[in-house]
Structure 1
């Protein structure tokens, strides 16, 4: 096969997305109070989710990373490292990228896929490559954030 299919989200992620799509469709009619939307689990923001849903998102993102590295990465500098969960800048953006791609895959028209290919993925890839810099993570040797010690007392590590 020339191209591999995009990994489907787990059922729990699909259920959360379906609920949000239902809310999004009703927002104009105010059938759902906007303040309640903030209380819903949003798969593109795993911190808003229960531990079980967040783990399903992270597992899906593992599959998405494998897919991205197979389908879109040509140069080693562009690889999403296996230690991506250890990099908050990647872990924050990857669920967004995955949801956007899933929505593009489910679209009845090609515009969302074109936007994902033209804007979402290249912008993610450029930011990731820039932020990782010359780290050894892409070669399989995780390199901790150089400023970790400075911030370890302020933030959970």
Structure 2
């Protein structure tokens, strides 16, 4: 009976999903930018401007961006299928992963690292992926999500802190602190070493305690 169930289940393991043609071309262009002919390198231009699938923010062409999302979704499903046995432990990538920027950034790198490992001539890189890359990703995901998205996607818990950080008052305070630093550089002195410090007042002005001058 157990043998029949195993036969009906299909392959014992499923291969890593291949990216679409546009993503593959992006990888090929990156390879050519380092290893291609001089003519090819010249045609590609500055390698820093090439899209990098492990950083979706660099994939600005719509077709390429779409393929990146589809590929990462396949990779998430593949990890859940091939590497997560006990789903209650928080090891599953949630279906709402695109709504979590930290998962988007990390999943793209995990997918890229696994793709590279599959192309390597030895198993060393794949062993590193099994030993460090994937467990590290899952551990960080557990820590950040906890149980918040086990059933339904939950709103961003840190939104209030983000709002305070980006508020006009918070932004002004940081900008004035930056100005204090630039003022010290302009006067070619280290306030910490000389004891000559500028004080940031509540109103946002700077005062030189040594002279009483308001800047």
Give the alignment's TM-score, normalised by structure 1: 0.85
Larger radius of gyration: 2
CA RMSD between the two structures: 1.9
Deviation at 1:148, TM superposition (A): 2.4
Match of 1:3 among 7, 13, 28: 13
Structure 2 CA distance for partners of 1:22 and 1:83, relative to 1, 3 Å: same
Match of 1:17 among 24, 27, 36: 27
- Cα deviations across residues 89-109 of structure 1 (Å, max 9, x unaligned)? 100111111111111112221
Structure 1: give runs of 5+ residues left out of the alignment: none
Structure 2 CA distance for partners of 1:86 and 1:152, relative to 1, 3 Å: farther
Match of 1:144 among 155, 178, 194: 155
Matching residue of 1:75: 86
Question: 1:31-110 residue pairs with structure 2 within 5 A?
Answer: 36-50=46-60, 51-76=62-87, 77-110=90-123
Deviation at 1:75, TM superposition (A): 2.3
CA distance in 1, matches of 2:48, 2:13: 37
CA distance in 2, matches of 1:112, 1:74: 23
Q: Secondary structure at the match of 1:42?
A: coil
Structure 2: give runs of 5+ residues left out of the alignment: 1-10, 167-215
Deviation at 1:54, TM superposition (A): 1.5
Matching residue of 2:201: none
| 1:80–1:138 CA contact under 8 A, matched in 2 | no
CA distance in 2, matches of 1:79, 1:16: 29
Give the alignment's TM-score, normalised by structure 2: 0.63
